Amino acid sequence: MNEIKHVLDKGYVRLTNVMGSDLSVVNSARVSYDKESSELSDGDIRLIKFLAREGHTSPFRHATLQFEIYAPLMVARQHWKYIVGSDHTMDSWNESSRRYITEEPAFYIPEVDEWRSAPDNSKQGSGGPLMEVLEYHEMGELQHVYEKHIEESMRLYERSIELGMAPEQARLFLPAYGMYVRYYWTASLQSVAHFLNQRLAHDSQVEIQEYAKAVHEFAKEKFPVSIEELIKPKG
C-alpha cells in the first residue's frame, strides 16, 4: 500500500496498512449472537449508527489503520502527547532516531504569510496572521533570521560529524521543533476517530489540523460509515 497525502511544505501522511472494514465492526458486534454478515446491508449500517450513538465502542477496536507520518517535531510531540494521554490501548508508535541515522535533516519553513500572531485571550493557540501586526520589513527580518538560524545550525551539525562526534550528541546542534521526524502510528479505528475529534477541532494547532485532515481522508475512504458516525465536528 503506497497511498500518500502531502502536508505542509515537506511533510506527508502515508497509509501503509489497514485491517478490516465497516463490516468488521458489524461482525465484531454480532459475534455474541453467533451471526455474521458477508456484505454490508442497511441493517448493518443502522447497527453501526447505534453503536456510535450509544458509545458502544469496543467493536470499533477490531479494525486498525497504520500510517507513516513525516512531520515537524512540534506536531509529532503533540501527537505523541495525545497517544500517552489517551485511554485507548490499541496504539503503537515507532520513530526514526538520530542516534542511529544521519539522513539529511529537513525543516519546516512556513511562508511569510503563514506566521501567526499570539491570541488575545489565551495562553495557547494562535491569533490572526502576524503580517497584520508587523510591518513588512519586520516580518521579512523574522523570516530571514529563522532561515539563517537553520543554515548555521546545519553547518555546526555537519562540522561536528566531520570531527567525529557521535550522532546522538551532534543532533544537539539542530533546532528541534521545526525539524522533520518520521514515524509509524498504528491505531484502532476507535483511537483514530478519537484523535480526529480532538485534532480536527478549530481550536487545535493549525499544523496538526492539517495532518488530521489527511488521516481523516484515509480513514473515511476505508471506513466510510463508521467514520461518518464517529466524527463529530466541533466547528
Q: What is the DSSP string of 103-126?
A: PPP-B----GGG-BPPPSS-SSS-
User: What is the residue whose three cell numbers read 521545526?
Assistant: 178
Nearest to 76 by CA among 88, 84, 65: 84
Sign of CA dihedral 129, 131, 132, 138: positive
Maximum alpha-carbon separation in the chain: 70
Phi/psi of residue 115, each to 5°? -70, 140
98, 171, 182, 199: which one is catalytic? Answer: 199
- Catalytic, 98? Answer no
Q: Residue 2: how many CA atoms within 13 Å on its side-chain side?
A: 0
Q: What is the DSSP string of 10-44?
A: TEEEEEEEEE--HHHHHHHHHGGGT---SS--HHH
Which positions are annotated as active-site residues? 199
